[in-house]
Structure 1
Amino acid sequence: MEDHNTANLTEPSSPAASVASAEIAAEFAALTVEEKEQRRAEWSQELARVEEEINTLRTVLASKTRHASDLKRKLGITVWKELTDDVNQGVKNIKESTVFQRTESVLKSTGEKTASVFGSITSGISSKLSQMKNSDSMRSIEASVGSAYENVKTKVTSRSGSVSSFPDALDENQSSSGLNSPTDSLTK
């Protein structure tokens, strides 16, 4: 029962460690009860000594950290400044990396290509609009709208007799008939 507990004290993390643990367990099982007790006492003493060294190192590290903080405070170096410097250095490292430079050049060329495509689309649309404006059918529509406007203006002017402009005619018609909409006055 004692040998079984000793074998389970450490759990190996790799195949080499499990082989070493198996060898240690086999050696430990071959020892007599007095030798096992003596070995355990040696290990306990060594463990206590190692833990004491760890605590001493922690104390020394804490003391050195406090001393470094005091020196930084005296020099005016703040946590914010250190963080800012670290971030700036990180950004600089990223910008200097080949991956960033390649990505930046690809994005720049893509932006230029996109701008040229949009420019060509815009110029194409404006040229089509100017062609449409100068086409015979557009001129025909403009002439029709213009003649319809003139007809309405003539009818409104002839009704009022003394009106000098189309907006005046609309205002006069609305005030005389009590209607709110110019189309209502035109349909009467």
Structure 2
Amino acid sequence: MEDEEKGFQEHPDSVPEMGEDAMTSVSPSSPPPTMTEEERQELQEELVKVEDEIRTLSQVLAAKEKQLADIKRKLGITPLNELKQNITKTWQEVTTSTAYRRTSETLSQAGLKATAAFSNVGSAISRKLEDVR
């Protein structure tokens, strides 16, 4: 285990970047010492299969995205309509949340108390002005 960690630390650039073909980043001349040639060959074959599956899935996904765009176009669904629907849905979720309701109630109560306080201050000032005359 420690040898594997040392090997990884000595060659940190051996990990493929996102989107980089794993086959191009694997050095065929330096298999790990604990791996037999047969195991290495099996892993190479599995690697090729997985890469092929990923390519196939990417092609299927691209075709489905195109189909989705065509259906939306035929239905008249535009990106702006989708954005409006998303905003409306999100706002509805926010306004029905417990936190929003509690905050709204608290602010409403604070507003009522502030109105009452201003009214009292106004009345007190009016009385003082009348007393001064």
* TM-score interval (norm. to shorter): 0.7 to 0.9
Q: Which residue identity is paired with 1:57?
A: L
Q: Which residue identity is paired with 1:61?
A: L
When the two chains are superposed, the root-mean-square deviation of aligned CA atoms in Å is 2.0
Normalized against structure 1, the TM-score is what?
Answer: 0.54
Which runs of at least 4 in structure 1 moved beyond 2 Å after TM superposition?
A: 7-10
Separation in 2, partners of 1:46, 1:83:
42
Q: What SS does structure 2 have at the residue aligned with 1:122?
A: helix
Written as runs of structure 1 = structure 2, the 5 A alignment for 1:86-105 is 86-105=86-105
Written as runs of structure 1 = structure 2, the 5 A alignment for 1:43-54 is 43-54=43-54
Structure index of larger Rg: 1
The equivalent of 1:171 in structure 2 is none
Which is bigger in relative contact order (C-alpha 8 A, separation at least 6)? Answer: 2
The equivalent of 2:63 in structure 1 is 63
Task: Give the drift of 1:127.
Answer: 1.0
User: What is the number of residues matched between the two proteins?
Assistant: 108
Written as runs of structure 1 = structure 2, the 5 A alignment for 1:1-188 is 8=8, 29=34, 36-133=36-133
Q: Which residue identity is paired with 1:107?
A: L
Q: Which residue identity is paired with 1:98?
A: T
Task: Give the drift of 1:117.
Answer: 0.3
Q: Which residue identity is paired with 1:96?
A: T
Task: Give the drift of 1:37.
Answer: 1.1
Q: Which residue identity is paired with 2:52?
A: E
Give CA deviations for 1:68-120 in whole Å, capped at 9, x if unaligned: 10110110000111111011100000000011000000000000000100110
Gaps of 5+ in 1: 11-27, 134-188
Of Structure 1 and Structure 2, the greater helix share is in 1
